[in-house]
């Protein structure tokens, strides 16, 4: 029998942490800092609104773009919260999570052979989605020295005549780094000069702890060449609902919509009902969660530095990204040993790209109790390996 698997499917790797999954299955009492999702349950009024909508019989397809009600609410929210200006009629598509949004964004713009710059370390899905679209992912390393921001120099160095787009994700998974207005201004010239498209994944926008989130598309120079991605998973503890959205100027939006309508048809209707409620009545819940993350961040990052894992104070998302270089171990060795010996699960930084090597990603979307226990276990681990 011949090999039925496509070249492209062959070309994408398995997730780098599969063996940790297998390992953890055999262990008890593990504290996992490996999870990229809030530990809170979805605020009850959001769940309740969705349950009610099901009881009312709202269980059918919606418009491909998503319900007009939710698109309008998102348009208003983006405008009042971040100063973004997207029209609900032809510039917003509700997607099945930001995962789908980034896929259709990439497929809408990438032709075979196109190079797409990806600011690294980054979320693991960008590269494979680019590959699946026939494009070539080109990492742009962001370093600790720049607090994991992307710089104009790093960008310029990697641009070729085939470069078409750049993907940014700030606040960043896995580093917790953020970009402010001046950081975007610094790279906007390059983006405009070299006529690139920006795909800006801002799903952690609400989880910004110092100052407020800066949305890339609020820069006039970038507005018409930016696809903004966002969603409800992180801000409202709604990962399982799978509701995200893509915002872009009408032409780009329409191209993405064609793909969305063939591969997804529409995002789940009960999720859309929940998301609508989230925007209407869950601001206080969201603020409380953000407040809690901020305190946990302070608690955890200070603890990491104290036990000998140097870590900058991340300004966004819910990840700490300490360096483990001083231990002389690789990030994979460190993570495996920490899991086996002290039953604390973290994610090796190189999973998020080569520039993440020598770091580990620790999620602090974990109860304070567990964070404290994890810290004391890490402390023990550190003194054992000295």
Partner 1 sequence: MDEKDLLLLHLLEENSQITTQELAVMVGVEEEEAGGRIRRMEESRIIRKYTTIIDWERAGNGEVSAIIELKVNPERDFGYDRIAERIARFRQVRSVRLITGIYDIQLVVTGRSMGEIARFVSEQIAPMDRIRETATHIIMKSYKENGHIFFERGEPERLPYSL
Q: Smaller CB distance to partner 1: residue 91 or 292?
A: 292
Q: Smaller CB distance to partner 1: residue 125 or 152?
A: 125
* Least distance to partner 1, CB of residue 366, Å: 10
* Least distance to partner 1, CB of residue 324, Å: 18
* Least distance to partner 1, CB of residue 346, Å: 10
Dihedral in degrees, nearest 10, Cα atoms 45, 49, 51, 53: 180
265 counts as binding partner 1 under rule CB under 8 A? no
**Phi-psi region for residue 367, left (φ > 0), alpha (ψ -120 to 50) or beta?**
beta
Residues 139 to 198 in contact with partner 1, rule: CB under 8 A = 173
List all residues 6 or more positions away from 126 whose beta carbon is below 8 Å from its beta carbon. 102, 106, 116, 118, 137, 167, 169
* Least distance to partner 1, CB of residue 61, Å: 28
120 counts as binding partner 1 under rule CB under 8 A? no
Q: Smaller CB distance to partner 1: residue 101 or 252?
A: 101
Q: Smaller CB distance to partner 1: residue 35 or 192?
A: 35
Q: What is the largest CA-CA distance in the chain?
A: 62
Query: Distance (Å, rounded) from C-alpha 350 to C-alpha 327?
Result: 16
Query: Distance (Å, rounded) from C-alpha 34 to C-alpha 320?
Result: 11
Residues 291-320 as x/- pattern, contact with partner 1 by CB under 8 A: x---xx-xx--x------------------
Q: Which of 85, 375, 36, 76 is nearest to 239 (CA)?
A: 36
124 counts as binding partner 1 under rule CB under 8 A? yes
Residue with tokens 């009881």: 55
Q: Smaller CB distance to partner 1: residue 228 or 335?
A: 335
39 counts as binding partner 1 under rule CB under 8 A? yes
Evaluate whether 362 touches 319 at the Cβ level (below 8 Å): yes
Residues 15-34 as x/- pattern, contact with partner 1 by CB under 8 A: x-x--xx--x-----x-x-x
Query: Distance (Å, rounded) from C-alpha 91 to C-alpha 158?
Result: 30
264 counts as binding partner 1 under rule CB under 8 A? no
Q: Smaller CB distance to partner 1: residue 67 or 233?
A: 233
Evaluate whether 139 touches 353 at the Cβ level (below 8 Å): yes
Q: Smaller CB distance to partner 1: residue 162 or 302?
A: 302
Query: Distance (Å, rounded) from C-alpha 20 to C-alpha 128?
Result: 21
Interface pick for partner 1 out of 49, 282, 347, 374 (rule CB under 8 A): 347
* Least distance to partner 1, CB of residue 24, Å: 5
- Count Cβ atoms below 10 Å from residue 22 Cβ, excluding itself: 9
Q: What does the block give as tokens for 29? A: 């009492």
Residues lying near partner 1 in the complex (CB under 8 A):
15, 17, 20-21, 24, 30, 32, 34-37, 39, 41, 123-125, 173, 291, 295-296, 298-299, 302, 345, 347, 351
């Amino acid at each position: 029998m011949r090999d039925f698997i496509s070249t492209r499917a062959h070309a994408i790797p398995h997730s780098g942490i599969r063996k940790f999954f297998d390992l953890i299955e055999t262990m008890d009492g593990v504290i996992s800092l490996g999870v990229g999702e809030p530990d809170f349950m979805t605020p009850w009024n959001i769940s309740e609104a969705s349950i009610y909508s099901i009881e009312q019989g709202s269980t059918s397809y919606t418009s491909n773009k998503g319900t007009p009600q939710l698109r309008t609410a998102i348009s208003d929210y983006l405008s009042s919260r971040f100063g973004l200006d997207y029209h609900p009629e032809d510039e917003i598509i509700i997607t099945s999570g930001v995962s789908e949004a980034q896929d259709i964004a990439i497929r809408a713009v990438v032709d075979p052979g196109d190079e797409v710059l990806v600011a690294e370390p980054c979320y693991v899905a960008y590269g494979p989605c680019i590959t699946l679209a026939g494009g070539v992912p080109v990492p742009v390393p962001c370093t600790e020295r720049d607090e994991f921001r992307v710089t104009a120099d790093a960008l310029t160095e990697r641009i070729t005549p085939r470069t078409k787009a750049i993907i940014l994700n700030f606040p960043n998974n896995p580093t917790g780094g953020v970009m402010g207005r001046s950081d975007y201004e610094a790279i906007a010239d390059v983006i405009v000069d070299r006529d690139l498209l920006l795909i800006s994944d801002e799903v952690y926008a609400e989880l910004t702890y110092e100052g407020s989130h800066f949305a890339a598309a609020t820069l006039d120079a970038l507005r018409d060449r930016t696809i903004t991605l966002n969603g409800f998973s992180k801000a409202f503890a709604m990962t399982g609902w799978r509701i995200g959205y893509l915002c872009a100027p009408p032409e780009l939006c329409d191209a993405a919509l064609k793909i969305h309508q063939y591969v997804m048809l529409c995002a789940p209707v009960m999720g859309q009902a929940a998301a609508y409620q989230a925007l209407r009545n869950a601001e206080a819940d969201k603020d409380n969660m953000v407040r809690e993350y901020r305190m946990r961040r302070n608690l955890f990052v200070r603890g990491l530095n104290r036990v000998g894992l140097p870590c900058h104070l991340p300004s966004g998302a819910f990840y700490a990204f300490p360096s483990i270089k001083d231990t002389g171990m690789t990030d994979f060795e460190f993570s495996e040993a920490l899991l086996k010996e002290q039953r604390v699960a973290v994610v090796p930084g190189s999973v998020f790209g080569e520039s993440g090597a020598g770091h580990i990603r620790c999620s602090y979307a974990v109860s304070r109790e567990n964070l404290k226990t994890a810290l004391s276990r890490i402390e023990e681990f550190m003194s054992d390996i000295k």
